Amino acid sequence: MFKSVLFVCLGNICRSPLAEGAFRAEVAGLKLPVVTDSAGTAAYHIDEKPDPRAIATAKRNGVDISTLRGRQVKVADFTRFDHIVAMDADNLANLKRIMPADATAKLSLMLDWAGRKGESVQDPYYGDDDGFNITWADVVEASKGLADHLANEA
């Protein structure tokens, strides 16, 4: 049975596209059928490509995220996806605020899947390239944990 995961940050041009790319690579390696997407809680970058630094970081690690486009979370996402994974506590709180009563998606923080409960994925947007490398390492680590969970989920 297919699973589905939505990765969420604020603007959907740095952390959540990197998380989606890292997770796609992880599940592809496991041959795990999962539908993925990413979105932002804010409408800052709708239809824009990920930040060029995010694209370059993913590419250096063998993952192409250049075709992804920014979008905002929709109410329908709460029933469309099995898991909605926020990059930080503020975006998780925003998701909980807009989550409809009939939501079926399970909400979590990305780094919870790396055994780092309650920690946020660093937002690299206002920093230098090193921040993107740190974010990449974090989302790769968490992607492994999430993929393992989905592979074993009943």
Q: What is the pLDDT of residues 94-148, one digit of tens each?
A: 999 999 999 999 999 999 999 999 999 999 999 998 999 999 999 999 999 999 9
Among residues 14, 15, 51, 138, which one is catalytic?
15
Domain that holds residue 37: 3-152
Task: Name the pTM for this structure.
Answer: 0.97
Among residues 37, 82, 123, 138, which one is catalytic?
123
Instruction: State the total domains in the chain.
Output: 1
Order of all β-strands in the sheet with 83-86: 34-40, 3-9, 83-86, 106-109
CATH of the domain at 56: 3.40.50.2300
14 tagged catalytic: no
Contacts with 84 (C-beta within 8 Å, 6 or more apart), sequence order: 5, 6, 8, 73, 77, 78, 95, 105, 106, 107, 108
Instruction: Provide the pLDDT for residue 18.
Output: 98
Q: Which helix or strand (DSSP H or E) is residue 34 part of?
A: strand 34-40
130 tagged catalytic: no
Tens digits of residue pLDDT in 51-76: 999 999 999 999 999 999 999 999 99
Among residues 9, 24, 77, 88, which one is catalytic?
9
138 tagged catalytic: no
Q: How many helices (H) and strands (E) does the chain have?
A: 5, 4
